[in-house]
Chain A
Amino acid sequence: MESKVRSFVRKGEVTKTGGAGGGYVQAVGAKPGCHGVSLVSSGLDDLDHILPLRNPLSLIVGGGIPVGGLVMVMEDIEAPHHMPLLRFFMAQGLVHSQPLFFATPLPSPQAFLGTLPAIASRSSGAASDNSKEGDLRIAWQYRRFLNEQQALEERRYRYEFCNDFDLRKPAERSLFTGATIKCESLARGAHLDSLLDHCRVFISNLARYTGEGQLVGRLAFQSLCAPQCMQSCTDWEMLRFLQSLKSLLRVSNAVALITFPATLLTPSMAIRWQHLADILISVEAVLDDNKEMAGMLTDYPDILGFLRIHKLASINTQVPTIPEAAMHAMKVVRRKKLVLERLLFAPVDATSGDSKTGGAAGLLCGRPANASSPLDF
C-alpha cells in the first residue's frame, strides 16, 4: 500500500535541514524570501535591492543573499573595488551578532578586521528629532513616551535588516566583543582539507542553535585563488573544495562570499568557478582616460567603479531572476556612504553639429569608419 504523502507544507515550517533545504530561519538579520528561502543582507542596501528573488513580494520585502547560498565576486586586478563589498558583508554579520569565518591570503587576518566600517551615525536624523522636540510643545508627563519611542527606534535600528556603514570610521570595538570570529590565514598556501574541516566545524556549531535563537553564519573568503593560496594546491582540488563548501552551505544556516581574481585562472577554470556560484558579481575599474565613456555618462567623475551582475540565485525554483540592469555604478556619497546606481546616459548633445565626430551619440549611431556610403551600416 502506497503511503499517502501530503504535498502541502506549512509555510513557516522549520525543518532540521535548515538553510535552503526548507523552512525559514528565525534569526536576527534573516527574513523570509520566496520559495522557502530565508534572506540575509549583503551589508549594502543598494545591492540587496538588486538581488531580489523574483516574486511580487520582492517590492515589499526587498532582497538579499539566500541562506545556503554562495556569492562570488570577480575581482578586477586594477582596482580593489571588491574590498568594500567584502567588508560590508562581514560588518553586517557582526552587527547582527552572526558568527563569522574569515580566510584571507593576508598574513594577519585580525588586522583586516580592524578595517571594517562602522555603522553610520544618525547624527543628522537625531538632530532633526531634537529640533522636532523643540518645536513640539507637549506636557512634560508625556515626554517619557517620546523617550520610549526613541529607545524603540534604537532597538529597531540595531536589528535592522541592512545598516548604513560609514567608510571613514573603523568599526567600534564593542562589535567584536562576544562575537564568534574565526580567522584563517592562507599566506602559506591554502591547505584545503584543513580549511574545509574548519568550515565544517564552524557550520556544525551553527546547528546547535535551534528554534527562536537560530544563528546564520557568514563565511568570507578573500582572493581565494591568489598565487599564495594556489602554491599548495591544484585547480581541481580548489574546485573540489568549492563544491564541498557549496554542499555544506546548502544544508546549513550559513552564507558565503568569495572574492577571486578570475584573470589569474585559466578561462576554462574561471567558467567552472562561475558555474558553482549562486550569485555572481564582477567589479570593474574606471579608466581615467576613457573619453567615450566620460561623454556618455552624466556623472562620470563621481563614479568609483562598475558592478556587473552576471547571475542571480535560483534556489528552489527553475525560473531565473533577470536583473533590471546588469551594470551599476559604484559611487561614494559624501566620502562615507557607498551607493550603487544604475548608469545614467547623458542626453544627446544636438548642438555639437557634426555627428561624425561629435560625442558618444555620433560614435554609436554613425556609420562604421570603413563604410563606403553614408547609408551603409
Chain B
Amino acid sequence: MSEMMEEILGLDARKLLPGSLILIEDSVAAKGAFLLNYFLKKLLAAPHASEEEAGGGTTRVLFLALSEPFSHYNRISRKQGCNLISYRNSGRLIFLDMVSDNPPGSVWTKGLKQSALFGLYERVNECVKRQEMQKSGEERTVIIIDDASLLEVLAGGVQNEVLSFLHYCRALYSGSHRCGVVALVHADTDSNRGLSLPVDAGAQSPAAALVQELEHSADVIVTVDPLSTGLATDVHGQVSVVHWTDALCSAEFRRAPCTLQFKLLESSVLFSHPGGKF
C-alpha cells in the first residue's frame, strides 16, 4: 500500500535534485518520526537493484540523530527488513548519534563561546568529506535530521544559526552533487500557527518561527496530523504532501496537496485515501 505514498511523494533517490530540502512537520498528537524511517529505508534500499544500470550511482545517508539513539532506529528498521548495522559497516550509512554520545563536553553541555551548531557542522562536513575520499562512481548524499527543533534548542533559540546550519548542509558538495536534506520539525511549536494575522500587525508580531522560515525554503513539505475526530487504533493520522518545486516530481504532478491516511505497523506503514480501506 505504500505505492500510494510513493506515487504522491515521487521519491526516487536517483532523481532527487541536489540541494533539495524535504521538510516533515508533526505535532505532539501525531509523531512524524516514522517518516524518517520510511525515507531511510527508501534511500538505502531502493537504488540497490538498479545500481549497475545507473552506472554505480548510489545514495549515501548521513543520519543526524538528536532525539533517539541508534538502537531505536535500528530496531525499527530491522523489523522492516533493513539492517542499519550492515549499511553502516559498508559505509552507505553514516550515523551521528548525539544521544548515546553524550559525555561531559559534548554538544549538549554548555560551550556557548563557540556556537554548538558550528561544531556539529564541522562533524557533518568531516564525515561527508571522508566518505567522498572512498567513493566509487557517482554518488549522492542525503542528510536526515531528527529533529530540527532540537537544533534550535542546541543553538539556544537563535533561529538564524539553525537556518545557516541547514543551508550549509544543503550547500555541502559530495562528489559532483550537493547534499539533499530531510528534516523533521515540530510544527505546533509555532504558537501563531493557524491564526490569520492581519497584515499591518506584522510589525508587532514576534519574529517568524523557525517552522515558517523552513517552510519557505523547503522543496517538499510532508505534514503529519492527527485525525480531527481524535485518536483511533485503526487510523493513526493523516499525511499531506505539498510539492513547492520540481525536486521530486515533474511539474504536471504538482497539483493540489494530496492527503493520505496512514496506519503504522511494526513492519510497514499502510497508506490509503481518506475513508478508504488499508
Contact = CB atoms under 8 A, between A and B. Distances in A.
A308 to B, nearest CB: 12
B153 A251 contact: no
Given A239-B153, A243-B150, A271-B28, A36 B102 contact: no
Interface in B137-184: 149-150, 153-154, 156-157
B100 A21 contact: yes
B189 A250 contact: no
A20 B72 contact: yes
Interface string A302-334: 000000001100111111101100100000000
Nearest to B232: A322
A322 B149 contact: no
A183 interface: no
B86 A268 contact: no
A348 B228 CA distance: 27
Interface stretch (B50-58, B103-111, B238-246): B103-111
B4 interface: no
A315 B72 contact: yes
A36 B266 CA distance: 14
A320 B264 CA distance: 8
A228 interface: no
B186 A319 contact: no
A36 B71 CA distance: 10
Contacts of A22: 71
A247 B71 CA distance: 13
Contact of B102 (A244, A268, A280): A244
B75 A36 contact: yes
B188 interface: yes
A143 interface: no
Interface string B67-100: 0110110011010000101100110000000111
Nearest to A55: B266
B100 A250 contact: yes
A36 B37 CA distance: 19
B28 to A, nearest CB: 5
A316 B71 contact: yes
B14 interface: no
Contacts of B209: 268
A5 B186 contact: no
A198 interface: no
A315 B85 CA distance: 19
Interface string A17-48: 10011100000000000011000000000000
Interface string B112-148: 0000000000000000000000000000000000000
A3 B186 contact: no
B186 A21 contact: no
Nearest to B157: A236
A322 B233 CA distance: 6
Nearest to B27: A271
A141 interface: no
Given A268-B189, A314-B31, A318-B76, A251 B89 contact: no
A318 B28 contact: no
B34 interface: yes
B76 A271 contact: no
Chain B: interface size category: 35 or more
Contacts of A4: 86
Given A3-B89, A36-B75, A275-B186, A247 B28 contact: no
A2 interface: yes
Which of B75, B89, B98, B109 has most chain A Cβ within 10 Å? B75
Contacts of B83: 5, 7
A33 to B, nearest CB: 13
A237 interface: yes
B261 to A, nearest CB: 14
B108 A247 contact: yes
A244 B75 contact: no
Interface string B187-215: 01111000000000000000001000000
Contacts of B68: 250, 315
A319 B265 contact: yes
A21 B156 contact: no
Interface in A123-141: none
A182 interface: no
B33 interface: yes
A197 to B, nearest CB: 8
B28 A274 contact: yes
A289 B241 CA distance: 46
Contacts of A315: 68, 72
Interface string A350-374: 0000000000000000000000000
A193 interface: yes
Contacts of B90: 2
B92 to A, nearest CB: 10
Contacts of A158: none
Contact of A248 (B66, B102, B191): B102
7 contacts: A3-B86, A247-B108, A250-B68, A267-B191, A275-B149, A311-B28, A318-B34
Given A5-B89, A272-B189, A323-B231, 9 more contacts: A240-B108, A251-B102, A267-B191, A268-B189, A268-B190, A268-B209, A275-B186, A318-B264, A322-B233
